[in-house]
Amino acid sequence: MESNTLPPLAWIYGLGNQKRETVEMVLEHLQKQAKAPIPTGGAVLPKSSFLGGLNINKDACTLCMSCVGGCPEGALLDNLDEPKLSFIEKQCVQCGICVSTCPEQALLLAPRLQTVEGRKQKVELNETKPFHCISCGKVFGTAKMVDLMLVKLGAHGAFAGAALDRLKMCGDCRVVDMVKKEI
Ligand code: SF4
Ligand code: SF4
C-alpha cells in the first residue's frame, strides 16, 4: 500500500537527527544567501533567542569555574594547565544557568547571531595566574581567588595577625600550620 506521508525535510536534505548540526547547516545556508554580511561582533537578537554568546566582567570573575560545571552543553571550558575560561558559541543555547551559577555576577547573556565560522571558534573569556601555596609551593587556586579571600576574610578574627598567611596556604599546609602553632 502506498503512503501519502512525505518524508521529513531532514531526510530530503540528508540531515540526521542531530538538532545542533541541523541548526548550523541552516545558519550556514542562510549566511551564504544573505545580501549583507553579518556585522563584526554579530547581529543582536531578541532576549529569548537560543543563539548567542556571553559577556563577561573580567574584573569580577575569579576564575572559580563554577559556570563550567553548571553548563549543560559544554559551551564553557576549563583549562587543565592554567586558569583560563574558554567558550564555544555554537554549543551555547542561552539557557542562562551559568549566569545564575556565577557567584560574582560576572556573566550576562548576549543574544546574537555570529558568523558560522565565529560560532565554531573556541574563544578565551578570561584568564589569570595560578597561585602557589606559600608553604609548599603547590598550585591551589588562582591569584584572583586568593586576593578576594584576603579582602573578604582578612578582617575575620580567625585570620588575625600572622594567621592571615594561612589564607595563602593550600588546605594541607593550613592544617599543619594550625597544629604547629597550637603545640
Ligand atoms: S547560557 Fe547555558 S549553554 Fe550557554 S554557556 Fe551558559 S550554561 Fe552553557
Ligand atoms: S564567570 Fe563567574 S562562575 Fe565563571 S569562572 Fe568567572 S567567577 Fe567563576
Q: What is the pLDDT of residues 34-83, one digit of tens each?
A: 898 999 889 999 999 999 999 999 999 999 999 999 999 999 999 988 89
Residue nearest to atom 2 of ligand 1 (CA): 95
Please state the atom number of ligand 1 nearest to the C-alpha of residue 87: 5
Ligand 2 close to Cβ of residue 106 (< 6 A): yes
Tell me how far the alpha carbon of residue 77 lies from the centroid of ligand 1, in angstroms: 11
CATH number at residue 49: 3.30.70.20
Q: Which of 87, 110, 125 is the last residue of a domain?
A: 125
Nine-digit cell string for 11: 531526510
Q: Is 43 helix (H, G, I), strand (E, B) or coil?
A: strand
Q: Does 1 map to a domain? A: no
pTM: 0.79
Secondary structure element (H or E) that encloses residue 70, with its range = helix 66-70
Pocket mutation for ligand 1, best pick of 65, 77, 92 (most atoms within 8 Å of C-beta)? 92
Residue nearest to atom 3 of ligand 1 (CA): 92
How do strand 130-132 and strand 76-77 relate by DSSP bridges? unpaired
Looking at the fold, whether 78 and 134 belong to one and the same domain comes out as no
User: Could you tell me the CA-to-CA distances from 3 to 7, 10, 15 in Å, in that order?
Assistant: 10, 18, 22
Query: Cα separation of 13 and 123, whole Å?
Result: 31
Residues 89-133: tens digit of each pLDDT:
999 999 999 999 999 999 999 999 999 999 999 999 999 888 999
**Could you tell me the pLDDT band of residue 180, with boundaries at 50, 70 and 90?**
confident
Letter for the amino acid at 50?
A: F
Residues of the chain with pLDDT > 90, as a percent, come to 54
Query: Cα separation of 51 and 19, whole Å?
Result: 13
Query: Cα separation of 63 and 148, whole Å?
Result: 11
Q: Which of 102, 125, 148 is the last residue of a domain?
A: 125
- Count of structural domains, the chain: 2
Ligand 2 close to Cβ of residue 102 (< 6 A): yes
Tell me how far the alpha carbon of residue 78 lies from the centroid of ligand 1, in angstroms: 14
First to last CA, the chain: 90
Residue nearest to atom 7 of ligand 2 (CA): 61
